[in-house]
Amino acid sequence: MASESEASAPLRRARGRPRGWDDKTAQNTIKSLDRAMEVFEFLSTDQGQTLSEISDGTSQAAATVYRILVTLEGRGLVEFDADEQLWYIGARAFVIGARYLRRTSLVERARPILRRLMETTGETANLGIEQTGSVLFVSQVETHESIRAFFPPGTLSPMYASGIGKALLAEMDDDRVRRIFESEVPVVFTPNTITDLDRLSQELAVTRQRGFAIDAEEKNLGMRCIAAPVFDMHREAVAGLSVSGPASRMDVHGVEAISAAVRDAAADLTRAIGGEAPDRPGL
């Protein structure tokens, strides 16, 4: 039986960090974990690397790097392609990242806006961000229609063949657009895919002027997408909202109404995260 003093003592909440938590000296760091995180972060900047490339890039011994990679592979954080002998970031890394995204204001605040956009247009609404030169879809609200577009969170898509991708590219300077476009050989997904930088630049100029981008069956035949950028407090495009669906329902006659709804939703999300669109006509 607890003594009177023990019974009356208030319960102490477990600490989230110990005393001296701000002491970042060597005694409070785990060197092996720090080296592992360096390898993980290095691989995330440029996926598809050999053991030698990772070793050289991190200035760590190949044997050490290999043990780190095998350990991370066991947790699903990295993956190894035996045919190409290349290492990649694994699916588990996205799962963990998605948990972080759920607590950020962008994804959190976008959810009701995506739902309203889906209800207004009757088509699937998407939220995407730029991730190392590609579009990473981070949230989606599906339409109830039996035939619909589907880009599950975690899907990556080339920016030049994506509505959200082109909406984001249109807000970048020419040098950055060129670097992203030339970072890999463009894939011809359909006869409508834009694989020429000059033609893409012309498309982006039109996109920037009207305030929305169109994926006219450029990634998948029979599917269209209309997207608009979302801006932060620095007036920089940090994400894109889109509506995607079958071309039979999203024909040229419906572009005006759908694009207006998409732009309104992007403006709502911009305001919701404390952002502001650039001061130019059409935005």
End-to-end Cα distance, the chain: 70
Among 94, 113, 144, the domain-final residue is 94
Let me know whether 194 and 229 are in one domain: yes
Let me know whether 118 and 254 are in one domain: yes
* pLDDT tens figures, 2-35: 444 444 444 554 454 555 545 555 555 688 999 9
Q: Which two tokens stand for residue 157?
A: 């898509």
Q: What CATH number corresponds to the domain at position 85? A: 1.10.10.10
Q: Is residue 170 part of a domain?
A: yes
Give the range of the structural domain holding residue 153, as residue numbers without chain letter.
102-272
CA-based nearest residue to 39, from 51, 24, 27: 51
Q: What CATH number corresponds to the domain at position 167? A: 3.30.450.40
Residues 6+ apart with CB under 8 A from 40: 68, 72, 77, 78, 89, 93
- The secondary structure of residue 11, as a DSSP letter, is P
Among 49, 77, 94, the domain-final residue is 94
Among 94, 121, 143, the domain-final residue is 94
User: Within the chain, how many helices (H) and strands (E) appear?
Assistant: 10, 8
* pLDDT tens figures, 223-257: 999 999 999 888 999 999 999 988 888 877 778 88
pTM over 0.75: no
Let me know whether 135 and 234 are in one domain: yes
Strand partners, 88: 79
Cα–Cα dist 129/171, whole Å: 13
Q: Is residue 120 part of a domain?
A: yes
Let me know whether 109 and 221 are in one domain: yes
Q: Is 142 exposed, middle or buried (0-12, 13-18, 19+ CB in 10 A)?
A: middle
Q: Is residue 63 part of a domain?
A: yes
Q: For residues 114-129, give the mean pLDDT.
A: 94
Let me know whether 264 and 163 are in one domain: yes
pLDDT band at 78 (very low <50, low <70, confident <90, very high): very high
Average pLDDT of the chain? 85
What is the tally of structural domains in the chain?
2
Let me know whether 264 and 228 are in one domain: yes
Amino acid at 119: E
Q: Is residue 277 part of a domain?
A: no
Cα–Cα dist 28/113, whole Å: 44
Q: Is residue 11 part of a domain?
A: no
The percent of residues in the chain predicted with pLDDT above 70, rounded, is: 84
* CA distances, 128 to each of 62, 217, 224 (Å): 36, 18, 16
Q: For residues 138-164, give the mean pLDDT.
A: 82
Let me know whether 149 and 44 are in one domain: no
pLDDT of residue 101: 58
Q: Is residue 169 part of a domain?
A: yes
Let me know whether 252 and 146 are in one domain: yes
Let me know whether 235 and 116 are in one domain: yes
Q: Is residue 3 part of a domain?
A: no
Residues 6+ apart with CB under 8 A from 29: none
Let me know whether 132 and 267 are in one domain: yes
User: What is the DSSP secondary-structure string of 122-164?
Assistant: SSEEEEEEEETTEEEEEEEE--SSSS-----TT-EEEGGG-HH
Cα–Cα dist 101/139, whole Å: 9
